[in-house]
A and B are shown apart, each in its own frame.
Chain A
């Protein structure tokens, strides 16, 4: 087997992985870095992020405000010490990206501009029109080319980790163009593989978002934390799930039901505002807005038609010129995919799965419980999103914690030696044997494509915007059944070169594990918090029993074992979570109480 050695191997070439690679290269140019990605880095799903990245920018804003927005937005399930670090480092990292060439949108005077975003008290979202993720990713990728110590393994698919001496010491890869297995031995391993939204049916995610890193860490005994918290984004294209950014509302767009009524005023987000007002109406947080959509549907106030149930995103009053300037991608998507001119017509939208709040449990330095294994970005749970992520915090996360992960992995690499090659190579050969046996076995009756479809439907049924015990249980049972049936999958394509049927079957293996962690974590959380809302008698937040992170551990053959761990509270004790006028009143009362 082809074998390489690297001081730090990074799996994932999206924003987090690239930022981590650059951090390692800058902190110590002598460290050898291997950057592994199953797609060319600039194809990674960071590319599809639209609205922007949060970081305090204006004089009347403060780190404290950003902290409280984030912690309240996360329904108090955030690691508050980590959030404090995060908000304090966002502006630095966003400025650094500007120095690297990121085309942030500007004001007339040449300074970087910011826009309003949901759940944020002050405008602090840096943006590059509505292609913020695209520009961040290309800036990071092109900047990474500067550093000779970064060796890329483009279109290599990571299929397992290897460990020895209780440390993670490398990764096993398949070179997609040849089908050859490759081992990279490493002193430090960083997982930066992104989220897992593709386990759901209607989602905004690219095909690559299959939870690979989560599944690999989980397989090696690392906990997946807070996996029940899956974000539904309220404004997505029906059927395809493609995203219409929250910036549509940040720029002043309205959400209306079939009667043209701005229904959010009925869900604790009012009163109605003519102009965008932070934390009111359309600028409420995503969990609340997606829940409001669900209620409208129950009340029969969504429009029904060939696209299914929809509400309308109304941008007409913003005018073509402003839409072309601020939301050019949205404009094009509406035109190309829906035949709609958003300056003249409303856009039909509904909620779809967008983001995985939970992930590989890591500490504030991105270190997991398995020594030598780090994780960063959407695949990780470093603790800033809690039960509901605020829009524009995740792009900042990948910059701030990409650097943290790179620095921490470099530090670790300097303090440990390479392990025993023989032991690692033996493990890698076992991984290869196992996967080749799966690929070549005969007599299988199941089709991976069909199992994938069933999994996605069951996740939508059981783990949607609102959840009840019975369907969650059915989903958990169904996932266990799919896991069984997976053993009987037949792979038709027996070639080596670019065998995507084989590779997507391995992805399905990963997805089934991640889905089980999500569904079982959801089943066990008997309360409602953030994106996890129940209708079966657990409709309230229960801080006595559930102000806790869930940790899902993989078991042999059974459902995951769910444990609970304390949440780190530093300066924001749990309080009522309110938006609109009610939120403002609550904030005033808190202030008065402190005087």
Chain B
């Protein structure tokens, strides 16, 4: 292990019980080459200020807890390394576009409501008894949705999304990726049910197509693609409604 060097970590602190507005604090943290930004924050908490608050758990970029703005870019702090910022200062802030609860902890309740709203579960195309075994899925069918199933709900894409920044009710890239994950699954027949969400006032049409969401996604889910596919689907659905005889919902 290399000898520890000292890096300056600037953290945007906010304590709702005593601060009128967020304020910056700078800490000088000894680090080694293997240390992540998360470990830097843990070092501050354990050694300098026990009140520093942030979410974390798995340390391996799969639980989705530890996202923050690192030098202004939404990243998972567990897989971002201090060595890549040294000798400059690195700044940490809560994920952009979300209300801050304390320090680096944001209010995720809005995201959770969106996730719940997209019917994020299989609505079976055909019911199947357990005794009949699994649904068959060819590699091609599997490939249709697996990428979208990789979303870890870290919400970095929301912090990258200019439209979500303007309108917190916008369904947003992450929830759309999950919606599409089910629509694209050969076992699922719930696309019509989900169309209501897709085509709603806060649905895909307000997306301004910046596609920055896909750039910051740590799992290469490409939520922008999910949004785009659903824009097309929703447009088709809209026009087809006029061509269908009245009363035919199919």
A interface residue numbers (CB < 8 A to B): 39-40, 42-45, 47-48, 92, 95-96, 98-101, 103-104, 106, 108-112, 131, 134-135, 138, 142-143, 145-146, 154, 177, 206-208, 239-240, 242-243, 306-307, 329, 332-333, 336-337, 447-449, 491-493, 495-501
Contacts and interface: CB of A to CB of B under 8 A. Distances in A.
Interface size class of B (residues with CB under 8 A): 35 or more
Contact of A43 (B63, B122, B136, B139): B63
Nearest to A177: B101
A449 B60 contact: no
Given A111-B136, A207-B57, 4 more contacts: A96-B130, A110-B139, A134-B62, A499-B53
A497 B16 contact: yes
A110 B182 CA distance: 18
Interface in B30-77: 34, 45-47, 49-51, 53-65
Contact of B134 (A112, A142, A337): A112
B17 interface: yes
Given A96-B130, A101-B121, A492 B61 contact: no
A497 B149 contact: no
A424 B138 CA distance: 55
Contact of A498 (B64, B101, B121): B101
8 contacts: A48-B60, A98-B134, A207-B59, A208-B57, A307-B1, A448-B50, A491-B50, A501-B45
Interface of B: 1-2, 15-18, 34, 45-47, 49-51, 53-65, 79, 101-103, 105, 107-108, 112, 115-116, 120-122, 124, 128, 130, 133-139, 141-142, 145-146, 149-150, 152-153, 178, 182, 185, 187-188
B178 A92 contact: no
Contacts of A111: 134, 136
Contacts of B64: 42-43, 47
B15 A142 contact: no
Given A92-B130, A333-B60, A491-B50, A154 B137 contact: no
Top-3 shortest CB links A-B: A110-B136, A493-B51, A206-B57
Contacts of B15: 495, 497
A40 B133 CA distance: 32
Given A99-B134, A103-B149, A106-B137, A47 B101 contact: no
A77 B55 CA distance: 38
A239 B122 contact: no
B133 A100 contact: no
B59 A242 contact: yes
B51 to A, nearest CB: 4
B172 to A, nearest CB: 16
A143 B190 CA distance: 14
Contact of B17 (A44, A99, A100, A495): A495
Contacts of A108: 138-139
Question: Which of A40, A208, A306, A499 has the most chain B CB within a 10 Å cutoff?
Answer: A40
Contact of A497 (B46, B102, B138): B102
